[in-house]
Amino acid sequence: MNSSFHLFPESASLAAGRYDTLMLSLTALLCVVALAVLVAIAGSVIRYHEHRPADRSHPPLANKPLEIAWTTIPLLVFLGIFAWAAHDYTLLAQETAGALPVTVVARQWMWKLEHANGKREINELHVPLGQAVQLTMTSQDVIHSFYVPAFRIKQDVVPGRYTTLRFTATHAGVYRLFCAEYCGTDHAAMQGRIVVMPPAEFARWLDADVGPETTAARGSALFRHYGCAACHDAGATVQAPRLDGLMGRTVTLQDGRTVTADAAYVRDAILTPHKDIVAGYAPIMPTYQGQIDEQDILAIIEYLRSMGAADASTSR
Ligand code: CUA
């Protein structure tokens, strides 16, 4: 990071090149349009200056072909750009198999990040070069926004819901992370660093000084600590849905609706258990609102995910 002026930030992710191409093409196109309008204005100003002997006897009132052309051509061009941008956006959002999962909890005014092996970071995220990373993000208080200019990615981090971001870093180095949503007094100081390392170096870093347990193991302990196991474990006397193989499954609710059991569903089930009652069960689960923090919920979700997909026909 030197102090010299750059028109663009460094470009260090797969999306960055695509985004720059789109942005520059759009800018070039707008320049061409602006130039054409300018030339037409200047030309008319000169040609029809009051002291010039231009023919003013039959001013054209309409020119259908011209009007159709200047309506249709820009429409098609901009629809094309829309399709292009939409295509790039779907690439950005595309499910990347084997993406490295990282959870992000934002709060006033810091970023708390956790890798699947339980390694935690604050205001700093280490990622491997060339491997897709998937962030699952939420906020503990107000809306923040995870913004890495060098990767050309930005996503709001919203309390009460999970948002995701995927990126693949293409250059090793250190890049700045900003909060891009005004979130109070120290918003401007809510910054961090993304450290992109060669895969082998990253693997060493990830395994060094790692905590005693993986996120899933911590989730398992929390599952017992908060008493979830008392009802949801096999052999529990209270009738509650079994949770192994839950993640990703379609769940049928009491009112006949079906939902996919994703992270957001599990979070809702913990905090507002009476909202979506699973078909065949009584609404007896207490709410954990205000008793469990976001990082613990994410750990429990990781634990449920680690239990894998069970036989889809059992325990709806
Ligand atoms: Cu967090 Cu601005």
For the stretch 194-212, pLDDT in tens is 999 999 999 988 888 777 7
β-strand pairing of 124-128 with 192-197? parallel
Task: Please indicate whether residue 190, judged by its CB atom, sits closer than 6 Å to ligand 1.
Answer: yes
Give the CATH fold of the 226-306 domain.
Cytochrome Bc1 Complex; Chain D, domain 2 (1.10.760)
Query: Cα–Cα distance between 215 and 71 in angstroms, integer?
Result: 57
CA of residue 161 to ligand 1 center, whole Å: 16
Task: Please indicate whether residue 114, judged by its CB atom, sits closer than 6 Å to ligand 1.
Answer: no
Query: Cα–Cα distance between 303 and 309 in angstroms, integer?
Result: 12
Reply yes or no: is the peptide bond before residue 109 cis, omega within 30 of 0.
Answer: yes
pLDDT of 3 reads 58
Question: Phi and psi for 132 in degrees, rounded to 5?
Answer: -65, 140
Q: Choose among 117, 296, 106: nearest CA to 208.
A: 117
Task: Please indicate whether residue 48, judged by its CB atom, sits closer than 6 Å to ligand 1.
Answer: no
**Closest ligand 1 atom, residue 109 Cα:** 1
Task: Please indicate whether residue 292, judged by its CB atom, sits closer than 6 Å to ligand 1.
Answer: no
Top-level class of domain 100-207: mainly beta
CA of residue 184 to ligand 1 center, whole Å: 7
CA of residue 288 to ligand 1 center, whole Å: 26
* Cβ-based neighbours of 88, under 8 Å, separated by 6 or more: 15, 18, 19, 22
pLDDT of 42 reads 95
CA of residue 188 to ligand 1 center, whole Å: 7
CA of residue 140 to ligand 1 center, whole Å: 12
Task: Please indicate whether residue 183, judged by its CB atom, sits closer than 6 Å to ligand 1.
Answer: yes
**Closest ligand 1 atom, residue 143 Cα:** 1
CA of residue 146 to ligand 1 center, whole Å: 8
**Closest ligand 1 atom, residue 180 Cα:** 2
pLDDT of 241 reads 79
pLDDT of 315 reads 38
SS3 label, residue 96: coil
Nearest CA to ligand 1 atom 1: 144
> pTM of the entire structure?
0.71
* Cβ-based neighbours of 283, under 8 Å, separated by 6 or more: 273, 274, 277
**Closest ligand 1 atom, residue 183 Cα:** 2
pLDDT of 312 reads 39
Task: Please indicate whether residue 70, judged by its CB atom, sits closer than 6 Å to ligand 1.
Answer: no
Ordered by start, the domain boundaries in the chain are 100-207, 226-306
pLDDT per residue rounded down to tens, the chain (316 residues): 455 677 777 888 888 888 889 999 999 999 999 999 999 999 999 988 888 887 878 888 888 999 999 899 989 998 999 999 999 888 877 756 678 889 999 988 899 998 888 788 889 999 999 889 989 899 988 999 999 999 998 999 998 888 989 899 999 999 999 999 999 888 999 999 999 999 999 998 888 877 777 788 888 888 888 878 777 877 777 677 778 778 878 888 888 888 888 888 888 888 888 788 888 787 778 788 777 888 888 888 888 888 775 443 333 3
**Closest ligand 1 atom, residue 157 Cα:** 1
